[in-house]
Amino acid sequence: MTQFFTLSEREATATQIALRVLRGAPWAAQLVAWVTERGGLSTANMPLLFEARFGLALHDCGVAPSYEYAAGVGETTVDFRFGQWLVELYSLAVSDALKAATWEMGSSFGRILMTPPGPGDAKRTQDQLKHDLALLDASTESDAVKKAIRREVRAEHQKTRAQQDEAFKQSPGAEVVKAIERVLGNASRNGHPTKFPLPDGSRYSMLVVDARAVGAAGTDPYDCKLIAYGADAVPEWIDRHLVDGKGRAHPIRGVFDAGNPMRDAQHFRERVHFLGIVAEETYARDELQYFIHLYPNPHLFGSYEEARGTLAAFPLFQPGKVRERRPDLFVDEVTKLASLDEVEFGIVIEDKVRLCRVHRDTLEDLERRGIDRGSPEMIKSFERYKVVLRSLAAKKHRGGEVERNGIAVLLPADLRHDGQSRR
């Protein structure tokens, strides 16, 4: 089993520190005891270890919460209650499809999510079967030979359909939809509300999701927005649709999306004020103090400003520290058309965002096709090749190859010098 599904050394070390500190906190006695009773520092116990690290983050902010607090919804509890906050934690499990999409070779590993069948693929497969069987029926072969060939043709057809179905299950859109369905299940069980009470103005409910298991390389801000709000919240060049087994595309509906038809969606929209999504990377002691993406429920706030004002009282909402510690999370904010022929973008060097530009001719070399001046396709092209382009821009910045305004400009010659040209 790959490291995607096992407890890492860094995570274990960080959790050991959390448990050592929390043993001295009376409120955490039950949490620390459960960690020990249920397997200690083990892969199977990772959801509870996440609770311990979250508890340490609260402790370091001077918060002494109630653990396993009964909020008045049947016999269910939320993990933490402090001040006006009710917080439940949830760790997304790795789906069977994502396990199947994971490769491992020695100490290396990775995930390859498949492009799902296109709208016409399923129909073409079925039409091909009909065509092959019609040719067989019209042939002069004996009935016995026809029967044997027909069996082989149908078996090949079934194999092709199975491959298409597997591609659907292992597609990025399918993984996001699975995550949405599981997140929604935290607010209800068997169609009945659980954990979170109806809002009464005195308490705010939050679900914080450990989303390390989402997507090809963990979650990113666009995944987060898709899970929270759905297709309308992300740019058009992002894969915003679920393609079903028949090749039909459906817009992804997030947990707060009024158009989400899932059974648990209404209870979630009615009761949960904020969705927090986090995928720890460094396991630094203060990472959970600044690395949680927080998304307000638009159905429970009159405006984003009202929601942000409420979040100001949440101890792990520290936007200033986020920008200071993780400027890379905001680097995409500067991406824009700088002119009809240039896309402006950013890179992070020495914890600062540096501006760069790529010329349309450079993008055309990468794409091996023409791109209209000033068109949205210029931005889409940059997004497809931004890893390469940011690497080239970083080399130019570090080598002092910048314009007077401090901007590094990528021209076709830069691709040829680096061996990246596709022409």
Q: Tens-of-pLDDT digits for all 423 residues of the chain? A: 334 458 999 999 999 999 999 999 999 999 999 999 999 999 999 999 999 999 999 999 999 999 999 999 999 999 999 999 999 999 997 544 434 434 344 444 344 444 555 545 555 666 676 777 777 777 778 888 778 888 887 888 777 666 655 555 456 678 888 999 999 999 998 889 999 999 999 999 999 999 987 754 456 788 889 999 999 998 877 777 887 766 778 899 999 999 999 999 999 999 999 999 999 999 999 999 988 999 999 999 999 999 999 999 999 999 888 888 888 888 888 899 999 999 999 999 988 899 999 999 999 999 999 999 999 999 999 999 999 999 999 999 999 999 999 999 999 999 987 666 544
CA atoms within 13 A on the CB side of 371: 23
Domain that holds residue 131: 115-169
CA dist 45 and 210 (Å) reads 13
User: Both 242 and 383 in a single domain?
Assistant: no
CA dist 156 and 275 (Å) reads 45
Domain final residue pick, 296, 325, 354: 325
Using alpha carbons, select from 325, 330, 332 the residue that is nearest to residue 289: 325
The DSSP secondary-structure symbol of 251 reads E
Using alpha carbons, select from 184, 206, 211 the residue that is nearest to residue 296: 206
User: Both 289 and 367 in a single domain?
Assistant: no
Let me know if residue 56 belongs to a domain.
yes
Let me know if residue 107 belongs to a domain.
no
Using alpha carbons, select from 371, 361, 367 the residue that is nearest to residue 412: 361
User: Both 186 and 271 in a single domain?
Assistant: yes
User: Both 230 and 332 in a single domain?
Assistant: no
Where are the alpha helices (H) located in 279-329, listed in sequence order?
Answer: 304-311, 319-325
Domain final residue pick, 149, 169, 189: 169
User: Both 245 and 184 in a single domain?
Assistant: yes
Domain final residue pick, 288, 303, 325: 325
Q: ∠ CA(241), CA(243), CA(248), 5° rounding?
A: 110
User: Both 194 and 50 in a single domain?
Assistant: yes
Let me know if residue 350 belongs to a domain.
yes
Let me know if residue 214 belongs to a domain.
yes
What is the amino acid identity at position 190? N
User: Both 224 and 283 in a single domain?
Assistant: yes
Let me know if residue 109 belongs to a domain.
no
pTM: 0.73
Let me know if residue 49 belongs to a domain.
yes
User: Both 46 and 181 in a single domain?
Assistant: yes
The DSSP secondary-structure symbol of 294 reads E
User: Both 352 and 257 in a single domain?
Assistant: no
User: Both 290 and 337 in a single domain?
Assistant: no
In the chain, the number of structural domains is 3
User: Both 177 and 249 in a single domain?
Assistant: yes
Let me know if residue 392 belongs to a domain.
yes
Let me know if residue 108 belongs to a domain.
no
Give the β-pairing of 241-243 and 249-251.
Answer: antiparallel
Task: Check which CATH number belongs to the domain holding 366 and give it.
Answer: 3.30.160.140
User: Both 284 and 360 in a single domain?
Assistant: no
CA dist 269 and 266 (Å) reads 5
CB 414 within 8 A of CB 421: no
Q: Tokens 């600044």 map to which residue? A: 290
CA 287 to chain centroid, in Å, comes to 18
Using alpha carbons, select from 15, 42, 50, 19 the residue that is nearest to residue 32: 19
